[in-house]
Structure 1
């Protein structure tokens, strides 16, 4: 099992726009072999630094399944408009990938 996460720092005041982008996109994740689940998580707001933390979190049967997703036409289509919304991001997303060591 493989967990893929991206952390996003979203400028304060743009949280709803960021959520709408994710809710409105057609990712076709469910069509991908090995895909198990997806969540968009909203974290705390850091007023001092001017952002709200978000994380996208997907679970895959294997790292190879995730890599196949990132190389697919479905991935390109799901991310084709990402550059248009750069004003809401404070820097690029930070990717973190994890393989399960132990689980229940």
Structure 2
């Protein structure tokens, strides 16, 4: 399993707009070979810094499947409107990638 995670710092007061963008978009993930699961997670609020943390987790069968996604037409379609909501973020997302070394079910 291969996990990719984007961490988003969303400006306080923009949480509803952020969630609406994500819930209403068509990610096209289901049409990509090797896609397993997607989760959008809501994290803690940082009053001092003025943001709420969110993370998107996407599970893939392999690194190759993820890389295929990033080069696909589905990826371009899913990210087509990303710049139109850039004002709700405190900077670009931070991508983190993890390769599974143990699984317990």
Question: d(CA) in 2 for partners of 1:24 and 1:72?
Answer: 21
Question: d(CA) in 2 for partners of 1:42 and 1:57?
Answer: 11
Match of 1:42 in 2: 42
2:20 is aligned with 1:16: no
Q: How far 1:43 sits from its partner (Å)?
A: 0.1
Q: Deviations over 1:15-65 (max 9, x none)?
A: 010011011111110111110000000000000000000000000000110
Question: d(CA) in 2 for partners of 1:86 and 1:34?
Answer: 29
Moved over 2 A (4+): none
RMSD after superposition: 0.5
Question: d(CA) in 1 for partners of 2:72 and 2:34?
Answer: 13
In structure 2, list runs of 5 or more residues that go unmatched.
Answer: none
Question: d(CA) in 2 for partners of 1:13 and 1:94?
Answer: 21
Match of 2:71 in 1: 71
Q: How far 1:103 sits from its partner (Å)?
A: 1.1
Match of 2:59 in 1: 59
Q: So what's the TM-score if we normalise by structure 2?
A: 0.97
Question: d(CA) in 2 for partners of 1:76 and 1:93?
Answer: 17
